[in-house]
Amino acid sequence: MFLGLRRQEDGRPPRPNILTVLVVEDEPLVAFENEHALEQAGYRIAATVNDYDHAVRVIDEGGVDLVIADIGLHGDRSGLDVARHAAAQALPVLFVTGRRPIDAQSIAVGCLAKPYASRDLVAAIRVIDAVLRGGRRPKLPPGLMLFDAEG
């Protein structure tokens, strides 16, 4: 069972842990829509990239709070490889894909099924943020599957 979120000393809700997002997506229109929706929701975009090498460079520079990764990318390596690299650094990953990989649970916090609405992507990030902070899990948006042990 998840614990309730604590309020700050001034009574405001706690700040989210997820402020900066790396978008890893090979479809230009989807990448643009994700970037726009996340910026409108107040998130900072560390970068939007379409291949493993660029994603790893951004992750290694630091300052990323969440990686949103599609499975299929340009080049020989996939979003699974990006997720494995991020997981090795204890960086949470949300897959956004039409096909959930078999080993997703060991390298990501969840998977949002394509196609999804922009509002569902934002809601998915808020759910993941609450879970990572140990708070009570909000209602899941359509298409989101979490891989937490608590269910």
What's at 111, amino acid-wise? Answer: C
Contact (Cβ atoms closer than 8 angstroms) between residue 35 and residue 47: no
Residues contacting residue 151 through CB under 8 Å, at least 6 positions apart: none
First to last CA, the chain: 9
Q: Mean pLDDT in the chain?
A: 87
The answer to the question of residue 8 being in a domain is: no
Q: Domain of residue 46: give its range.
A: 20-146
Task: Count structural domains, the chain.
Answer: 1
Residue 48 lies in a domain: yes
CATH number at residue 142: 3.40.50.2300
Q: Is residue 5 part of a domain?
A: no
Residue 1 lies in a domain: no
Does a cis peptide bond (omega within 30 degrees of 0) precede residue 142?
no
What is the band of 74 on the pLDDT scale with cuts at 50, 70, 90? confident
- % of the chain surpassing 70 pLDDT: 87
Q: Which run of H or E residues covers position 22?
A: strand 20-24
The residue type of 71 is: I
Average pLDDT estimate for 55-82? 94
> For the segment 19-45, what is each residue's pLDDT rounded down to a tens digit?
999 999 999 999 999 999 999 999 999
pLDDT of residue 15: 53
* Residue 14 located in a structural domain: no
Q: What is the pTM of this model?
A: 0.85
pLDDT score, position 4: 35
